[in-house]
Structure 1
Amino acid sequence: MTASRNKPAELRIDIGVCTFRRPELADALRSLAALEVRPDWRVRIIVADNDVTPSARELVARLEPEMPFPVHYVHCPEANISIARNACLDAGAGDMLAFIDDDETASPQWLAELVAMAATSGADAVLGPVEARYLAGAPRWMREGDFHSTLPVWVRGEIRTGYTCNVLLRRSSPRVAGRRFSLARGRSGGEDTEYFTRLHAAGGRIAYAPEAWVREIVPPGRARLSWLARRRFRAGQTHGHLLAGQGPAAAARNMALAGAKAGYCFLAAALSAFSAARRNRYALRGIMHVGVVGGLAGVRELQQYGGTAPEQGAGIGT
């Protein structure tokens, strides 16, 4: 047997980073530069700049000499996060495509853990956890309850939707190939919830790599109950709009169920007044169910992208 036959086939992996006016992008890219990768992997980084002007171009060019991987910069001059995500999909040329947010840093084993789970599970998509790190000024109840970390939701033993702040997609999968993020949700958010919900509905499998950690510092603008409430309400709206597609009878049942859940959560919040973390967790869950009712009723979703502040930019996620 020749040496070439003994050589393992190369695995081509793209890493997509959507960005909007965030200096934290520098830390994100430096964390990717420190990734532990196998010699038979060919890693490339795609930076999709979602600003009207190419505001991240200079930062990317300045850091590119430090990167051990090629960096491909693409300007998406439209304040719509789905356009940036789709630009990463379109620019991807590898066997797999990972996504990480521009305000996150990856652990050195992040990519290896995602790839290992993809190999062992055969899943179409693999999610990893996002660990929130709070600054000193964050409320105590928020730190104790860890309201900003992101983990998958399991329903009857499976994951039925996902997020783009930490995920690996198998580009060769027929459930992934040709699938795009909804432009209609590119300003409201929820585009990744819809993407993975439809992937699962098409027969796609979503796995979880619990050691594929990325970390995110919670800025003061997000360390507020009002920000969490807005985010939960919008998430509920997205879920409600997706449920509305099941038909009028199912929508009526789901609306009654969501209303009942909201009432239960608000009552539980009132009974939990002694614990700020517990009270606010129930209250936020109730707000999410109110959002579901709104989504089922056709209420227009809140806009989270397209503003001038980084809080409304690419890294906000779902």
Structure 2
Amino acid sequence: MTQLQSTEAAAATRIDIGVCTFQRLSLEKTLLSLATIETPEGVTLRVIVADNDVEPSAEPLIERMRRLLPYDLCYVHCPARNISIARNACLDEAAGEYLAFIDDDETASEYWLSNLLATARKSGADAVLGPVAARYDERAPGWMRRGDFHSTRPVWVRGEIRTGYTCNVLLRLASPVVAGRRFNLALGKSGGEDTAYFTQMNRAGGKIAFSPEALVFEPVPEQRARFGWLAVRRYRMGQTHGRLQAEGTSATARPLQIALAAAKSGYCATAGLLLALFAMPRNRYLLRAIMHAGVVTGLAGARIIHQYGKLEASTP
């Protein structure tokens, strides 16, 4: 491709950035960070804010922010208390070649979007993930800060990323495994809707890449800087994984999978107890034990716990 052709291709590129929100004051910081990111040459940006509250509570802030952002700001009211509804509203509203997602309690680094786009173009991937770096304050336990329990990065299985998350991602909307795909409304109150979305994308032949420099930051509020919060989250993650695993498994093979997950949970719990005097590795093993216990219940078809709409509303 010549330099002229490359410039023309870039000029035709439009990227929408989706931000799903629910009663969070931190949305303002998120939008201000988007106002300062580098816009790739020849790329047009637009921000879509999907307000998942019963009332359009974020609309006054959006109206104030319009004059501060150097690109279009679109507000969509999509009630209520179901994150899948908000994510799907962003997908429905998006009209560009790409749609990026960032959470309403995160802030973007300057080259966040440029790095996601560069990786997407180089890899040809259907989705590109970036890392989320947790930022702890001095009130967080020392073991938590040392172990960095809240940061988010993809997991590789045999050299492949098989699932993803929506707190930092770029989707290629024209991809056959993205076009028409929507988030599961049944998981919109429990969480795990993004894990299901990307797992099913991968099973349909989609490629997920990683851009390690496409960094966003997430503060860890006091409500989340607790072992109990992490335990509930890990358990729910395990439930989602177990249910997805069960989808492709025959009823006769499922008892073996349940036994394997239970054995992993028992092993990790034992390791945690043996490391009782060492807080960071102890808690890491105990949280893995809880996650595998969630896998057991997910495989068994137990009811998924509902978290969304509770903590979000109480988090600054």
TM-score, structure 1 as length reference: 0.95
Q: Say whether 1:199 aligns with 2:201.
A: yes
Q: Which of 15, 18, 22 is the equivalent residue of 2:17? A: 15
User: How far, CA to CA, are the matches of 1:244 and 1:5 in structure 2?
Assistant: 47
| CA separation of 1:58 and 1:152: change in aligned 2, threshold 3 A | same
Deviation at 1:79, TM superposition (A): 1.0
Q: Which of 79, 82, 98 is the equivalent residue of 2:81? A: 79
Q: Say whether 1:238 aligns with 2:249.
A: no
User: How far, CA to CA, are the matches of 2:107 and 2:7 in structure 1?
Assistant: 32
- Tell me the residue number matched to 2:288: 285
User: How far, CA to CA, are the matches of 1:272 and 1:7 in structure 2?
Assistant: 57
What SS does structure 1 have at the residue aligned with 2:44?
strand
User: How far, CA to CA, are the matches of 1:114 and 1:85 in structure 2?
Assistant: 19
User: How far, CA to CA, are the matches of 1:268 and 1:119 in structure 2?
Assistant: 44
**Contact conserved, 1:243 with 1:251, CA < 8 A, in 2?**
no
- Tell me the residue number matched to 2:122: 120
User: How far, CA to CA, are the matches of 2:292 and 2:171 in structure 1?
Assistant: 30
Q: Which of 281, 305, 309 is the equivalent residue of 2:308? A: 305
Provide the alpha-carbon RMSD of the alignment. Answer: 1.6
User: How far, CA to CA, are the matches of 1:225 and 1:308 in structure 2?
Assistant: 15
**Contact conserved, 1:13 with 1:98, CA < 8 A, in 2?**
yes
Q: Which of 250, 256, 259 is the equivalent residue of 2:259? A: 256
| Range moving further from structure 2, 120-129 or 248-257 | 248-257
Please list every run of 5 or more consecutive structure 2 residues that lacks an aligned counterpart in the other structure: none
User: How far, CA to CA, are the matches of 1:145 and 1:308 in structure 2?
Assistant: 23
User: How far, CA to CA, are the matches of 2:61 and 2:54 in structure 1?
Assistant: 16
| CA separation of 1:5 and 1:144: change in aligned 2, threshold 3 A | closer
Deviation at 1:121, TM superposition (A): 0.6
User: How far, CA to CA, are the matches of 2:165 and 2:112 in structure 1?
Assistant: 16
Q: Say whether 1:42 aligns with 2:48.
A: no
- Tell me the residue number matched to 2:57: 55
Mapping 1:65-144, distance limit 5 Å = 65-144=67-146
Size of the aligned set, in residue pairs, is: 311
- Tell me the residue number matched to 1:225: 227
TM-score, structure 2 as length reference: 0.96
Q: Aligned letter for 1:300?
A: R
**Contact conserved, 2:24 with 2:312, CA < 8 A, in 1?**
no
What SS does structure 2 have at the residue aligned with 1:248?
coil
User: How far, CA to CA, are the matches of 1:137 and 1:30 in structure 2?
Assistant: 26
Deviation at 1:253, TM superposition (A): 1.7
Q: Which of 129, 153, 157 is the equivalent residue of 1:155? A: 157
Deviation at 1:188, TM superposition (A): 0.6
Q: Say whether 1:183 aligns with 2:190.
A: no
- Tell me the residue number matched to 2:276: 273
